[in-house]
Amino acid sequence: MRLERTLLKGHIMSMAFGLAGLLLVLPHPDFIASLPPIGKTAFAWSMAGGGVMYMLLGMAAVALYAYRTLGVWHCFGFMIPALAISLSSELLGTSTGFPFGHYRYLTGLGYKIAGLVPFTIPLSWFYLGFSAYLIARAGLNQKISQNWLKMIASIVLGAIFLTAWDFVLDPAMSQTTMPFWVWDQPGAFFGMPYQNFAGWFGTGAVFMTVSTLIWKVKPFEFPQNNLGLPLAIYISNFAFATIMSLAAGIYIPVLLGLIVGLVPVLLLYRLSKQQTEVNMAENIVKMSFNNG
């Protein structure tokens, strides 16, 4: 747990450092020119590797959390489908325009697989998708009795929460002073095609469905009272995207992200906590009755 917290703090600090570089330093070339050699070297490194670092730390934090709380089977049962399916979807998208629309990645996010997709992109699909799905599943776990309905609702909500994050992130990251990807087919939604969101929802729903079926092979108790790290991952990444969008004067995607993403995530997290408290109270009553 100590290592998880350290990785999480590093993830958040890396995002904060990246925000400072993108929003405060990069738009002011005079300031960059006035930096001493060591400052220019640090800035160049941050621009080249900052995005890679924060995604690597996020991946490591969530993977360690999943291993500790769920075990090897369930950790890799989500990680492998998320990485494989999201990478396949991104490679298809950058090659053909399906399912997201025509776009291409620029520099700043690490080595590109097949010269198309930075290796860090599937990592972000995993750690954001896992966090969104787990909170949705834990929040619904005690409120829906039918297993099949619970699983479907968790997949739908998890995919929506993942897409809500992209509502906020994508417009800013493709239109910042130093864009990380560009749309060759500009769309009506702040430069993005609406198809992009269908692709995000569909990709997330597919790997969450595959993972759910894998998890079903070995049923387990969801960590109802141990969702702090997934919540911190979702909130911090949502905050990063929000600051980027607001700095670019983009407001409507942030509002949509809040309505369909952050607020429901917080409500489901609270619901899972309340259920944990109820279960604990029931156990205390049962123990007292048995002892009496």
Q: What is the pLDDT of residues 246-266, one digit of tens each?
A: 988 899 999 999 999 999 999
144 to each of 140, 147, 159, 269, how far by Cα in Å? 6, 7, 18, 15
Output the pLDDT for position 219.
Answer: 84
The mean predicted confidence, pLDDT, of the chain is: 88
Q: Which residue has the higher pLDDT, 128 or 40?
A: 128
Q: Is the pLDDT of residue 289 over 70?
A: no
92 to each of 64, 188, 204, how far by Cα in Å? 29, 22, 15
Spatial separation of the C-alpha atoms in residues 101 and 183, rounded to whole Å: 8
Tell me the mean pLDDT in the region 200-207. Answer: 98
- 109-126 pLDDT, tens digit per residue, is 989 999 999 999 999 999
Tell me the mean pLDDT in the region 210-221. Answer: 91
Tell me the mean pLDDT in the region 179-201. Answer: 90
Output the pLDDT for position 97.
Answer: 94
Going by pLDDT thresholds of 50, 70 and 90, the confidence category of residue 224 is confident
Q: Tokens 């950058």 — which residue?
A: 94
Tell me the mean pLDDT in the region 175-191. Answer: 83
Decide if 149 contacts 84 (C-beta within 8 A).
no
Orientation of helix 263-291 relative to helix 147-173, angle to 10°: 140
Output the pLDDT for position 203.
Answer: 98
Q: Is the pLDDT of residue 284 over 60?
A: no
Q: Is the pLDDT of residue 276 over 80?
A: no
Residue 283: CB atoms within 10 A of its CB come to 10
Vertex 258: Cα angle to 184 and 193 (nearest 5): 15
Greatest mean pLDDT among 22-26, 166-170, 273-277 lies in 166-170
Domain of 121? 2-291
Window from 37-41, 62-66, 209-213 with minimum mean pLDDT: 37-41
**Cis omega before residue 99 (within 30°)?**
yes
Q: Is the pLDDT of residue 281 over 60?
A: no
Q: Which residue has the higher pLDDT, 57 or 38?
A: 57
Spatial separation of the C-alpha atoms in residues 186 and 173, rounded to whole Å: 14
Count how many domains the chain has: 1
Q: Which of 207, 198, 202, 168 is nearest to 80 (CA)?
A: 207
Tell me the mean pLDDT in the region 231-246. Answer: 96
Kindly report the three-state secondary structure assignment for every residue of 209-276: HHHHHHHHHCCCCCCCCCCHHHHHHHHHHHHHHHHHHHHCCCCHHHHHHHHHHHHHHHHHHHHHHHHH
213 to each of 129, 144, 166, 233, how far by Cα in Å? 16, 18, 25, 24
